[in-house]
Amino acid sequence: MNYDKKFWDKYANENESKFNEEFAKFVRDLAVSLRCTSVLEIGCGTGIDLKLFPETFEVHGVDLNDTALNIAKEKLPKFNFQKSSITDLPFDDSSIDFVFTHQLLNYLEDDVLEKGISEVYRVAGKYIMNCERHDEIEKQINDSSKFRNMQKRWLDYKVRIISNVDMHEEIEPDKSRFTLLRKL
């Protein structure tokens, strides 16, 4: 996996300014409505998508960037943040009720994405959510990212697709596709 530390350090330092309260509420309210008690964001950055979860939740975030994780740990000390890759998650099988990504998978190479999806499936106990920039054909967005078609990526797994729709721009201005799956 190509990891550009300089790019991700800059991203981490700008991450707090990108806090989208509507998206954070959406994720929290969805997990609560699905009766989940544990959540994991893969590629959590500084934890901005997790910050509205109540302390009654078991909240986890993983990221490869030390700068982002240090900010997350400082701002959200009651949550569990760890350095880890999507391809090697430090959790037991089916141990997290609600596992999600938010514009992480767009940055991964295809082989890393395939292994990562397998790991997400392994640790998810009930639900998986991906909010990624979408196109039916997974073409390049720019030098560092690609559009993803996550519904297609999950067809070989034992999941039920609950939703696969474009996010409303008031919740996610970047026009991500919301894919929600129930693990069977």
CB atoms within 10 A of CB 158: 10
* Domain ranges within the chain, ordered by starting residue: 5-183
Residue 30 sits at φ, ψ, to 5 deg, of: -65, -50
- What is the reported pLDDT for 8? 73
Alpha helices, DSSP H, located in 19-100: 21-33, 66-75
Rounded distance, CA 49 to CA 27, Å?
A: 7
Predicted local distance difference test score (pLDDT) of residue 143: 87
Transcribe 60-72 into DSSP letters: EEEES-HHHHHHH
The answer to whether 161 touches 181, Cβ cutoff 8 Å, is: yes
Nearest 5°: CA angle at 60, between 150 and 153?
Answer: 10
So what's the pLDDT on residue 152? Answer: 94
pLDDT of 175: 77
From the number of C-beta atoms within 10 Å of its C-beta (0-12, 13-18, 19+), residue 142 rates as exposed
Q: 5-183: which CATH topology?
A: Rossmann fold (3.40.50)
pLDDT of residue 4: 74
The CA angle 56-58-61, to the nearest 5 degrees, is 135
Q: Looking at residue 1, what is its pLDDT?
A: 57
Type of residue found at 76? L
Tokens of 110: 């295809």
Predicted pLDDT of residue 98: 98
CB atoms within 10 A of CB 112: 16
**Is 131 within 8 Å of 177 (Cβ atoms)?**
yes
Regions in the chain scoring below 50 on pLDDT: none
Q: What is the pLDDT of residues 50-67, one digit of tens each?
A: 999 998 999 999 999 999
